[in-house]
Amino acid sequence: MYVTPPMQNHPRPAAGPPWWLVIGPGLAALIGLFLLTVIYRFDGRSVLQVDLHLSNQALLLSGLVAYLVAAAIALPAGLLLGARFPTSVTVPAICFMLLGVLLIAFTPNGGLLLVGRVLNGLGAGAAIGVTAALIRWLRTGRGVAAALTAGLGVVALAIAPLLGGLVSDTFSFRLVYLIAALFVFVALIVAAVIGIVALTAAKRPTQPMPYAMPYPPR
């Protein structure tokens, strides 16, 4: 009498996100960190502060505190939703950043500067949260991705005042934000394309695993 061997269920590990899914939000996060410190310079008052007639306190509140508060508000949303809906969170975040950068590029006064910095902070906070959430759930290369992202983030924070001051002194602080808008737009395209690729890959039908059952002896 033939007895069918018992089936053994081998638990499959939960699949983490592919590493290339980090590129879109990671690029946006680096741009956000660059924008955080680009309004300052190491050798005195920035051109933005002089042209908009801002005091040191006004620049601190409108330029730095507003940015950090907005980023702190948006960061939990990126952390909580970023692993499951990375594109749905990243694309609106980059749109906020793009709108904020353009507002600052054409601002006539400190009022629009405050609005632009808040939008920049919201976008940057969400993008940083998504990046951290995706790196956390990577199955391989998690340490390398975290170290690379953190290192590039520190570089972005450090070089922003230097590059921003150089371009502002040579041309105008508005050109700094127009160039930043170009990079933000590129990040938006990258995030959208990667999201489409990920959605297409998720909808692709998977081939069922063949199950070979031995035939009973005749």
Tokens representing 127 are: 């993008």
76 in a structural domain: yes
Burial class (CB within 10 angstroms; exposed 0-12, middle 13-18, buried 19+) of 199: exposed
207 in a structural domain: no
Distances (CA, A) of 73 to 34, 90, 108: 19, 15, 27
How many domains does the chain contain in total?
1
Residue 135 CA to residue 142 CA, distance in Å, equals 6
Model-level pTM? 0.82
158 in a structural domain: yes
Q: What is the CATH number of the domain that holds 46?
A: 1.20.1250.20
For residue 198, what pLDDT is reported?
83
DSSP code of residue 38:
T
Show the domain range for 42: 19-200
Tokens representing 105 are: 């590029």
6 in a structural domain: no
For residue 111, what pLDDT is reported?
87
Per-residue confidence in pLDDT tens, the chain, 218 aa: 555 555 444 443 355 678 888 999 999 999 999 999 999 888 778 899 989 999 999 999 999 999 999 999 999 999 999 888 999 999 999 999 999 999 999 998 888 999 999 999 999 999 999 999 999 988 888 889 899 999 999 999 999 999 999 999 999 999 999 999 999 999 999 999 998 988 887 776 555 545 444 444 44
In terms of phi and psi (left: phi > 0; alpha: psi -120 to 50; beta: otherwise), the region of 172 is beta
Report CA torsion sign: 63, 68, 73, 79: positive
